[in-house]
Amino acid sequence: IGGKMKVLKNKIQKRQIPLDVSKDQIIESEVFSALLELDDFDILEMGRSEGEGCYCSVNNTLKRVIDVISKNYDITFIDAPAGLEYFSRKTGRNVTDLVIVTDPSKMGIHTMKRILELTKEVDLLFENIWIVGNRFPDNVKDILEKEVASINEKNVNLLGFISNSEEISRMNLIGENLLLLPDETDAYKKAKDLFAKII
C-alpha cells in the first residue's frame, strides 16, 4: 500500500479530500482494498513510502487503522524488513512479542544489539523478545548463545536455531513460492517447532 499512501498524501496536500470524509476512513478503505484474503490467512503488503516529503500524518493514521484491523484477527504477524526504520517510527507499539532473526555474521549480531537498544530509546515495550539464529552451522551456535546470555534481560531469550536449507535456497533463487515448500523440509519443521513455543 506504499503507492496508495503516496497518492493519498498528494491529495491531502492539494486539498482534494472531500470535507465529509476523514483521512482515517480513506486509509481504512485503501488498506482493506489491498488486503489479500487466503484460505488460512490474510496478507497485507505494506511496501514503503514513495516520493519525497514527510509521511508522518499518513503514517500515524495508518498505524491507527492497522490497530483497528488487527482486532479482527487472533494473531497478527508483522514481517519488518531488515533495518531499524521500523522501530524508530514506533510502528510496533502494540506488539506483544518481538522476534529478531539474525544470520551468522558480525553485522547480524550488531543489528540485533542495535534493535534492542533502539526499542529502549523509543520506549517500545515488548512482553517477550525472542532471538532466532538463521542458517547457523553447529560450530558457531555457541557464539550467539553467549551474546544473548550477555544481554541479561529477563524478557530477551534465545528461541533457537534454524538450519540452512538447500531446498529453500533453490526455491528462492528461481522465484518459486515458498508456501509450496514440502512439509518434510528440515528447516520448515524446525521453524514450525520453534514458533509453536510462542504462539
Give whichever of 7-21, 118-132, 175-189 has the largest mean pLDDT.
175-189
Which residue range(s) make up the domain with 17? 1-74
Q: Examine residue 163 and state whether it is found in any structural domain, yes or no.
A: no
Angle in degrees, 0-180, between the axes of helices 23-34 and 2-13, rounded to the nearest 10:
160
22 or 183, which is more confident: 183
Nearest to 170 by CA among 153, 152, 155, 187: 187
Mean pLDDT of 25-40: 85
CA angle 121, 123, 126 (to 5 degrees): 120
137, part of any domain: no
Least confident of 38-47, 50-59, 89-98: 50-59
**Residue entry with cell 492539494:** 14
Please name every residue paired with 134 in a beta bridge, in sequence order, or none if there are none.
162
**Is residue 4, in this structure, part of any structural domain at all?**
yes
Q: What is the pLDDT of residues 118-165, one digit of tens each?
A: 888 888 889 999 999 999 999 999 999 999 999 999 999 999 999 999
CA angle, 27 as apex, 23 and 31 as ends, to 5°?
Answer: 170
Whether residue 19 is predicted with pLDDT greater than 80 in this model: the reply is no
- 189 belongs to a structural domain: no
Mean pLDDT of 97-102: 95
End-to-end CA gap in the chain? 27
61 within domain boundaries = yes
Is 3 part of a structural domain of the chain? Answer: yes
Taking the C-alpha atoms of residue 50 and residue 83, their distance in angstroms, rounded to an integer, is: 17
Full-model pTM: 0.79
Q: Is residue 109 part of a domain?
A: no
Give the pLDDT confidence score for residue 70 in this predicted structure.
86
What is the CA angle 131-41-129, rounded to 5? Answer: 15
Identify which has the larger pLDDT, 27 or 190: 190
* Alpha carbon distance 38, 59 (integer Å): 26
Instruction: Tell me how far apart the alpha carbons of residues 155 and 88 are, in angstroms, rounded to a whole number.
Output: 20
Return the percentage of the chain with pLDDT > 70, whole number: 86
Q: Is 133 exposed, middle or buried (0-12, 13-18, 19+ CB in 10 A)?
A: buried
In a domain, residue 22? The reply is yes
Tell me how far apart the alpha carbons of residues 47 and 1 are, in angstroms, rounded to a whole number: 6
**pLDDT value, residue 81:** 67
Let me know: does 1 contact 45? Beta carbons within 8 Å: yes
Number of compact structural domains in the chain: 1
